Amino acid sequence: MTKPSTRISTLGTRLAVPALALGLVLSGCSSSDESADDGAAAALGTTSDINPHPVADLRDGGNLRLALTTLPENWNALHTDATGEVGSIARPMMPRAFKTSASGEFSVNTDYFTDVVLSSTDPQQVTYTINPKAVWSDGSPITWEDIRSQANALSGADKAYLIKLTNGFDRVAKVDRGVDDRQAVITFKQHYADWRGQFSGNAFLYPKSVTESAEAFNKSLLNGITLTAGPFLVQSVDRAQGRVVLGHNPKWWGDKPKLDTLTFSVLASEAIIPALQNNEIDAVGIASIDDMKTARDTAGVVIRRAPGNSWSHLTFNGAPGSILADPALRVALSKAIDRQGIATAVQNGLVAEPKPLNNHVFVEGQVGYRDNSLPFDPAAAAKELDALGWKLNGDVREKDGRKLEIRDIMYNAQSWVQIAQIIQQNLAQVGVKLVIETKPGRGYFSDVIKPGNFDVAQWIWSSDAFPYNGLPQIYAYNPDDLQGNYGRIGSPEINELIERTLLELDPEKAIDLANQVDRKVFEIGFSLPLVQSTGNVAVRANLANYGAPGLASYDYTKIGFLK
């Protein structure tokens, strides 16, 4: 998902997150006039707020305590059932090929690879040279066979693999052994502009034991992760307490981590801020201005800010036979929803100028961001509904004896309900009844969203710094391979535009094509982006090299507490 440039201009692999335990997007309204200061207006891609310190300033040991909404249902982050929280747990444990800086620059992750290079353009070839010290947690070497096996698994050729996305491996012709077992040469049958993102960002490299068969891919990590290759590994999983503890990997060959452990605990959304107050967790995203005030009033806690690359949204279900199958109906509803009103309500006091996110591909502050959205126009929405045959009968429109009543599904958290209530009021003004239904975190995607048990639904898309590979994952439509297109909406035109974007190696042309995709996505009522993450994170003041990273990737060996 990269361009032939060192500057990142868009988002990458999309991971779905139902809630706020990792502190991504949502916030609550408040009459407080306490404003967002200390850098809240900084643009994404220009800043990182992690309290940087050299490791010499850090004490040895310590436990970084973080929150989860639920334990993973599948620890394979490449599997369709894996949520963004799986990635958060796995990042300290799994190989990735590239690191990113706060300014969006790439560098090879030399813990795992001594070099990753575009070695040919006709045909396109990428050569991965593996660090000779790199081993899995059982001591076995990381080899080209791990890369080949994962490329085959994600190719999409075998539909028994329940993959989250192909990540460009559907464009790979073959993976060969290089000069030795520590080198892999990937040859593409079609150009793929985002080759740097294939084993980066949220796309980890797994051992071939996980990817060599569909059975292993789908089921071997259901109850926990086995082989890893990072500075940390799973020390314990307590399902009764809802807790995962990561400890040092004794086979780790890189810099020794300063922390002893990382602990992830499952907490209900309403318990997260009290846990911060009670010194039970060390960092959490801020969910409201009231939470901001509470965090600021908590001894030893500070607010760190760097605008985030995650966002909340409303997805429509356009499956054949659904009440929203007609794209014209979805577009009319889109025009009736006041996204600026939502932004003002949920982010007032948390950012300098609350505004909705107006692009599906780029977030504000990134190169390429354009406002391609449809206008808020309830009068036009009402006229379009009339023209479609949805006529008012009392307070609710009807057509062919069917009421225009739709179910909005969301994770059971007050911030999500608040957004739904605003949408409910907006739609009521044009004769549409919105029914709000909340769901628990466990099974939210596997049991509710993935099967399409919704009319509209809310969740967070959490991305990494690599652009474009989320386009085929979410916005392309293949009824036999939905990937992340949970609303089952698309068009041949959008599919073709996505393909042209992925083939385009010229940065400016790729940006223009991606924005054409975005406009078409708005025009068929695919989904509505709502608000971008504020990036506000409450953190223990003595925690260094952690907080609000922006586009930057963490170095987990350098996170720790000040002496």
The pLDDT of residue 80: 87
- Single residue among 220, 245, 279 that ends a domain in this structure: 220
Residue 49 counted as domain residue: no
Burial of 4 per CB tally in 10 Å (0-12, 13-18, 19+): exposed
Spell out the alpha helix ranges (H) of 203-355. Answer: 208-211, 214-219, 269-277, 289-296, 327-336, 339-347
**CA count, 13 A, side-chain hemisphere, 381:** 24
Residue 124: which domain range? 73-220
Residue 525 counted as domain residue: yes
Paired tokens of 553 = 């990737």
Q: Say if residue 340 is in the same domain as residue 272.
A: no
Which residue(s) pair with 312 in the sheet?
460
Burial of 457 per CB tally in 10 Å (0-12, 13-18, 19+): buried
Residue 22 counted as domain residue: no
Q: Say if residue 404 is in the same domain as residue 468.
A: yes
Residue 199 counted as domain residue: yes
Contacts of 387 (CB under 8 A, 6+ apart): none
Question: Please, what's the b/e burial string for 167-189 (b: 16 or more CB within 10 A of its CB; e: otherwise)?
Answer: bbbbbbeebeebeeebbbbbebe
The edge-to-edge listing of strands for the beta sheet with 283-285 is 283-285, 536-540, 301-305
Q: Say if residue 480 is in the same domain as residue 428.
A: yes
Q: Say if residue 345 is in the same domain as residue 468.
A: yes
Checking DSSP bridges between strand 433-439 and strand 405-411, what pairing results, if any? parallel
DSSP-derived secondary structure letter, 348: B
Q: What is the CATH number of the domain that holds 324?
A: 3.10.105.10
Instruction: Give the CA radius of gyration of the chain.
Output: 23
* Torsion (CA) 439, 441, 442, 447 in degrees, nearest 10: 50
Report d(CA 400, CA 300) in Å as an integer: 61
Q: Three-state DSSP class for 237?
A: strand
Q: Give first-to-last CA distance, the chain, whole Å.
A: 40
Q: Say if residue 189 is in the same domain as residue 271.
A: no
Residue 5 counted as domain residue: no
Number of domains in the chain: 3
The pLDDT of residue 258: 98
Q: Say if residue 391 is in the same domain as residue 477.
A: yes
**481 in Cβ contact with 333 (< 8 Å):** no
Q: Say if residue 89 is in the same domain as residue 142.
A: yes
Q: What is the CATH number of the domain that holds 281?
A: 3.40.190.10
Q: Say if residue 399 is in the same domain as residue 386.
A: yes
Task: Look up the pTM and report it.
Answer: 0.76
Report d(CA 314, CA 456) in Å as an integer: 6
Largest CA distance in the chain: 75
The pLDDT of residue 35: 40
Q: Say if residue 295 is in the same domain as residue 404.
A: no
- Single residue among 165, 200, 220 that ends a domain in this structure: 220
Residue 245 counted as domain residue: yes
Q: What DSSP string runs through 113-171? A: EEEEEEEEETTEEEEEEE-TT-B-TTSPBP-HHHHHHHHHHTTSSSTTS-BS--TTGGG
All residue ranges of the chain with pLDDT < 50 are 1-13, 18-42
The pLDDT of residue 443: 87
**364 in Cβ contact with 44 (< 8 Å):** yes
- Single residue among 220, 254, 284 that ends a domain in this structure: 220
Element (DSSP H or E) covering residue 512:
helix 507-523
Q: Say if residue 166 is in the same domain as residue 88.
A: yes
Q: What is the CATH number of the domain that holds 148?
A: 3.90.76.10
The pLDDT of residue 465: 67
Q: Say if residue 150 is in the same domain as residue 267.
A: no
Residue 29 counted as domain residue: no
Q: What value, to the nearest 5°, has the Cα angle with vertex 520 and ends 318 and 374?
A: 90
Q: Three-state DSSP class for 290?
A: helix
Residue 549 counted as domain residue: yes
Report d(CA 389, CA 399) in Å as an integer: 6
The pLDDT of residue 27: 37
Checking DSSP bridges between strand 560-561 and strand 543-544, what pairing results, if any? antiparallel
Q: Say if residue 300 is in the same domain as residue 315.
A: no
